[in-house]
Structures are given as C-alpha cells and as structure tokens.
C-alpha cells in the first residue's frame, strides 16, 4: 500500500494544493495569520510522517534555550514531538496505517490533528524562539 498515493487522493479530494518532490509531499498551511510549511513522507513500515516547519530561524546562540523549551513542551504531548532541524523549529507527527479500508480516514485524521497541534503551539514556539518566558 503506497501511503503517499493515498495521501495525494485525500489532498485532491479537499482541493489542497501540493507538490511532490523526491518522494515527499510538500505544501503550505495557514490558520489566520499563521503560515507554515509541511512535508509528508512514508517509510517501509507503513508509517506516514508529517513534518511542520515553523517560519522562525533559530540562531546558534539561542538553540540550546529553545531546545530546552521544546523538550518541556514534548512532555505534555501524547503523540508527536517538537525538535530543531536545520535551524528551524519542527513538529513531527505520524501514524501507522495497516488497514487499506480505513487508510484514507486515518490520513485525514493525521492531517487535521497534526495541523491543529502545529497551530495550537504557535505562540509557545514563537515565545521560545524570541526568548520570551513561556507560560
């Protein structure tokens, strides 16, 4: 079962624009004034991964402080994790999909759940990157 092909069907059914490059599906999502880049990929174990890249670059001097804040946020998550990759805050989320009959529903749920978490964590990530105290 090719998860990327099923993901494309889900995105097409929702009229969501995306591009495919090197086995990744890439798109931009927004909620209000929040706008972020997303990449999806799959592995050989039927795992579909969502990566959301927040728009703020983290300089080397503040990287350990931001990583500390992201790790605190990770302790409150039931699934997924925040990290830093190539100088940007990232939210990674994923789901195993084994059942072909419910695959599209699982992919749509992954999409909605991960996008909601990305948006809901916007202020905390912004405060961490800007060096403000996270409440």
For residue range 38-61, list pLDDT tens digits in order.
999 999 889 999 999 999 999 988
* pLDDT value at residue 44: 85
Rg (CA), the chain: 15
3-state secondary structure of 86: coil
Percent of the chain topping pLDDT 90: 84
Q: Of all helices (H) and strands (E), which one includes residue 69? A: helix 63-74
Q: For 79, what's the count of Cα atoms within 13 Å in the CB-facing half-sphere?
A: 11
Average pLDDT over the chain reads 93
Residue range 3-36+47-55+67-117 forms a domain whose CATH class is alpha beta
Look at the alpha carbons of 125, 130, 133, 135 in this order and tell me if their dihedral is positive or negative.
negative
pLDDT for 60-93, tens place per residue?
889 999 999 999 999 999 999 999 999 999 999 9
pTM of the model: 0.90
d(CA 55, CA 44): 30
pLDDT of residue 133: 63
**Structure confidence at residue 13 (pLDDT):** 95
């Amino acid at each position: 079962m090719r998860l990327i092909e099923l993901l494309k069907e889900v995105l097409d059914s929702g009229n969501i624009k995306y591009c495919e490059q090197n086995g990744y599906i890439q798109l931009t999502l927004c909620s209000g004034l929040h706008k972020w880049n997303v990449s999806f990929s799959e592995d050989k174990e039927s795992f579909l991964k969502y990566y959301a890249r927040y728009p703020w670059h983290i300089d080397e001097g503040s990287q350990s402080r931001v990583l500390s804040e992201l790790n605190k946020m990770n302790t409150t998550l039931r699934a997924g994790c925040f990290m830093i990759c190539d100088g940007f805050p990232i939210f990674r989320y994923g789901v195993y999909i084994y059942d072909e009959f419910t695959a599209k529903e699982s992919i749509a749920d992954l999409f909605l759940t991960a996008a909601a978490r990305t948006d809901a964590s916007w202020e905390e990530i912004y405060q961490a990157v800007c060096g403000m105290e996270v409440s």
